[in-house]
Amino acid sequence: MNSFSAIFKRDLQIALRSGGTWLYGLVFFCVFLTLCAIGLGGEFGTLRPLAPALIWLALILSLLLSFDQLFQTDAQDGSLIHLKLSGISLKSYVMAKCCVHWVLSILPLLLSLPIVVIFFDLSFGLGAGLFFAILAASPALICYGAFSSACLVGYKGGGVLLVLLSVPILLPVLIFGIEASVQYQNVGLGALEFQALTGISLIALAIGIPAAAAALNVTME
């Protein structure tokens, strides 16, 4: 737990001192939605039915842009090797990195959702559905992204490979996430899609973190 706290605080401090680079995902999220709205004509009648899918696509694309550097910096400056030699559990390291990434990537997007709901003129029920669906799916998004990033540590041009590796894993999350957001208005949190998202996230927590730690261990040998 001490190693987890130390890594979490270190990465959070580094991010906050980086001059706002951690906000690039949020900027991309907003720009993507704005361009989609303009490209589709800006009519609320056209945008409302497409809004859940557009928001989920913007979310996943913004996360894919950030996964490439999740472990890359520590690998390049030697911190990763030092952490391994110091005896710190790689599982604790990966878990801390995932928690920091959630705070810096998912939390700002969740906080911006009310503005997005107003932007697309969505109902309160659909906005709440999007919020709870993203919250339920966020462990799966982060853990599977961490696994993909860990597999490609040290590879040049890993960004493209990361997208190719991550998309098939994240596709079920996208499908169930869109449906859960819509179904919340009718069924609430008891919708089957929410149960599926919760199950996927629990599996990701159980498998994704150890798998990412194992992948990092292999790349350092």
Using one digit for the tens of pLDDT, what is the confidence trace for 21-45? 778 888 999 999 999 999 888 788 8
Q: Label residue 81 by pLDDT band (50, 70, 90).
A: confident
- Report pTM: 0.89
**Cα-based torsion angle of the residue sequence 129, 135, 138, 139 in order, rounded to the nearest 10 degrees:** -130
CA distance 205 to 140: 7
pLDDT of residue 67: 86
Q: Label residue 95 by pLDDT band (50, 70, 90).
A: very high
Residue 132 pLDDT exceeds 70: yes
CA distance 153 to 129: 35
Q: What is the DSSP letter of 123?
A: -
pLDDT of residue 159: 67
Q: Domain segments of the chain: what residues?
A: 2-219
